[in-house]
Amino acid sequence: MNLKSKIREIPNFPIKGISFKDITPLLQDKKAFGLTIDRLAKSYLKNKPDIIVGIDARGFLLSSAVAYKLKRGLAIIRKKGKLPYRKIWKKYILEYTTNILEVHKDAIKSGEKILIIDDILATGGTIKATIDLIEKLGGKIIGIVFLIELDYLKGRRKLKGYPIHSLIHYKQ
């Protein structure tokens, strides 16, 4: 099945010049969604992480299903103001704005093997901030998996030294 055919592109959203990749058609298709989760989890069926990390917000949809498939717990990275307990935070830059990510201080234990899952790799700002938070808590990243990678934005350059896998690539 061609998963890319299940991604709807919305031009000029959220701002002019950005082509939003809408994953809701993929999520609505039970076969495509199941295949997506199977493919995201595939490389980690034997070398399982201790915990899966999902990133706010669409990353939660994918990471929770992979955590279930791998029978692992889920830690979440949220946008500022969404977590009620003791937390650490990191400011980062997106293609068109800045933001702050937070994680609970007890979400990851030092030495735990971490698999990060998110919906999209664009410029790499969000994932780099996530990596910084995980490493500050002592987590050891064994993999980073994306549904979509926008190759033309070269976000992978910020992630040297980490094993990365993306299911769908957009060259331009």
Q: What is the DSSP string of 63-122?
A: HHHHHHHHT-EEEEEEETT---SSEEEEEEE-SS-EEEEEEETTSS-TT-EEEEEEEEES
Establish whether 58 is a catalytic residue: yes
Task: Yes or no: say if 70 and 100 are a contact pair by the CB < 8 Å rule.
Answer: no
- Quickly tell me which residue has 């003791």 as its tokens: 86
How many other CB atoms sit within 10 Å of the CB of residue 19? 12
Structure tokens at 116: 């990060």
Least reliable range by pLDDT among 12-16, 78-82, 113-117: 12-16
Task: Yes or no: say if 68 and 54 are a contact pair by the CB < 8 Å rule.
Answer: no
Establish whether 156 is a catalytic residue: no
Q: For residue 55, give the 3-state DSSP assignment.
A: strand
pLDDT in tens, 94-148: 767 789 999 999 999 999 999 999 999 999 999 999 999 999 999 999 999 999 9
- What angle separates helix 58-70 from helix 30-41, to the nearest 10 degrees? 70
* Closest by Cα among 163, 133, 144 to 59: 144
> Which pTM was predicted?
0.95
8, 9, 58, 102: the catalytic one is 58
9, 72, 78, 95: the catalytic one is 95
How many Cα neighbours within 13 Å face the side chain of 172? 0
Q: Given pLDDT bands bounded at 50, 70 and 90, which one contains residue 76? A: very high
Domains belonging to the chain, first-starting first, are 46-170 (3.40.50.2020)
